Structure 1
């Protein structure tokens, strides 16, 4: 079998962004073969280097979020740094940045200047609220995007109130949209190179809201303002989390009529099958409390092992709620090598999720962790045409 080239082979991305959302976008592209050069300030002050998880000596989150990238330093605010930056862009497909709206303009790197340096440059601007509107220049973080999109309002219970997940989901979703935007824009430009480069205006808040497809139409047509319901889904039933006799948490979904009938027989509730309260999903949603109480009672009277046997025999969609230890031990994850090892010069290797998606004909290539500050300065600037003496002078002047 012949191997295919990497999906984004020959795509060069300059990543000028910081922290998580936009860097994650370029990392997803790196996973698929793009050549990504990460630019930091000479002092290595990116806030991600101090974000947990860290050890006293190593920024572990940095190593995973920026995996697969080359690392250089350059202060683009410096006149000489700006000159070098524009030179770098001449041989670049995509520039990724996530500064507050107008920041690059103030540094003399407005879109007109960028496109003058490279007329075919794609510029991904990933901000909290986009390049226009009254909030355009506001700062933003993942929890801000999550809350303002309406996502946070769907998480939690009536007792807890709205809750955030213990992970910056807002950043990661925005990064996914960022990678999708890059790939789509490259496809568009390669289909019609005459259109030239352009700006990609990505709002992280809009990216989160894009996930909440039914909420607006549900509100307009039905007057429903969907809220947090704990683990119970308000749109399909039964779909909830239940605790077993031995304290394991299990999430179960039996929302189609066929699966619901199998569940009724499995948990000795066959009388529910013809009960008018439960004959279809809308009726089950209206009577979900009675339904959930009955299912919860069955779980409370059975150990997880008993639950597992019964639900498997009846072909019911369910799973124990995994922690990371469960994920690492799972036979499906192991069979597909869902956790890979990233090569690291300091730690030997570290575990991380595999690249997604998989194309069977594409050979896996080793991935290294995120670069140390300025790790590739010497080779990069030499290839750009600078002598060793010039590189040393730029270092001394804190341009790189």
Structure 2
């Protein structure tokens, strides 16, 4: 019999205290919340997290904050103050994971080094996500996504050949580090679930290393072939054809025909009969070597036809391609619509807002749609009430600007 779908994800029962700022580490905690973890977002009492000021902001409402911190409860606490530190340590036994992303050594200066945290909860998983790690000469450097992207070698792969490197108009470095953060949490939770006596740990996650980890061939091709991979525009230097092409009616498409079989079908679709067996193009290394001639022919064919004709030919040939989508295209595409790729999250200020669906999809599990990220201290009473702090004490803590 098929199992009954349940709203609880694999991380149900895991409690995460997210005291990180801006994007990378908070996104890691958010991904865990998507899969059932209970995440409490800890902010300073003044709500000064920089993400609240990043565009898009509509009439003072921080839209990016709301979607990036979805599914979390929010409290305020100034852990730099003695009373705030005391409250934090008193709460830690109720949490499985603490996520932070302050510069290396900052938490220790506040009296919250790993040893102190583990005295409060010996099984605590402490995720320290920084730009460059807990050791090394750059350990105390500040950093943002574009810095990680530049230093990892990632940005050196973008842009036109001979031109300047290009950043994407999106902090992809933060989100990749966030994925590794979520992976680290799941990895360590699995370890502790497998051994009730196992101690907690400290995870040293460097965002620059997270990006570099995805660039597998760079070190080996440099050592073995003395090759430094650089930008090549929309072309790929490792496979061909793989480029961006413009139709006669001005539509940009991305096409990839890496395998010999797909290349042969591409040749049939675009009228390059015999090219698949031509020694200059019969294998991928040969196609890369003779890319100028190959790409020139493809550019001319695409420029000579409207998008509808091109799409029909490529679809009929089973050739991997896509129009370059904007968010308008994504919202109107029937495939995204049927799969529910955009979900609506309840929001106390805006009613509801759209955001990406929970990924991945797990058989037998229908996750509840999260609500948007909390306002500063929205759940102070509920969360601190668990720890015996009543209205009078909370009022005093507010007056002292501890919460």
Q: Which TM-score applies when normalising by structure 1?
A: 0.99
CA drift of 1:395 comes to: 0.8
Residue equivalent to 1:364: 367
Aligned partner of 1:51 in structure 2 is 54
Partner residue of 1:112? Answer: 115
Deviations 1:22-42 (Å, cap 9, x if unpaired)?
Answer: 000000000001000000000
Does residue 68 of structure 1 match 2:71? Answer: yes
Which of these residues, 118, 126, 131, is aligned with residue 129 of structure 2?
126
**1:52-100 superposed Cα distances (whole Å, 9 cap, x missing partner):** 1111220000001100000000000110111000011011000000000
**Match in the other structure for 2:247:** 244
| Aligned counterparts, 1:345-356, within 5 A | 345-356=348-359
Secondary structure at the counterpart of residue 218 of structure 1: helix
Once the two structures are TM-superposed, the CA of residue 181 in structure 1 deviates from its matched residue by: 0.4
Take 1:220 and 1:204, find their aligned partners in 2: how far apart are those partners?
24
Q: Which of 272, 285, 293 is 2:296 aligned to?
A: 293
1:387 offset after TM fit, Å? 1.7
Q: Which residue of 2 aligns with 1:171?
A: 174
User: Shift of the alpha carbon at 1:160?
Assistant: 3.6
User: In structure 2, what is the equivalent of residue 192 of structure 1?
Assistant: 195
- Counting only pairs closer than 5 Å after superposition, residues 133-144 of structure 1 correspond to structure 2 as 133-144=136-147
Question: Is residue 383 of structure 1 aligned with residue 367 of structure 2?
Answer: no
Is the 2:246–2:299 contact (alpha carbons within 8 Å) kept by the matching residues of 1?
yes
Please show how residues 1-400 of structure 1 align to structure 2 within 5 Å: 1-4=3-6, 5-158=8-161, 160-400=163-403
* Structure 2 unaligned regions, length at least 5: none
Distance across 1 between alignment mates of 2:376 and 2:190:
32
Runs (5+) with no aligned partner, structure 1: none
Q: C-alpha deviations, 1:126-155, integer Å up to 9, x for none?
A: 000000000001001000000000000001
The 2-side partners of 1:271 and 1:30 are apart by 54
Q: Which moved more, 1:321-330 or 1:2-11?
A: 2-11
State the 1:222 CA deviation.
1.1
Q: TM-score, normalised by structure 2?
A: 0.98
Q: Could you say what secondary structure the match of 1:95 adopts? A: strand
Runs of 4+ in 1 over 4 A off after TM superposition: none
SS of match in other structure, 1:147? helix
How many equivalent pairs are there?
A: 400
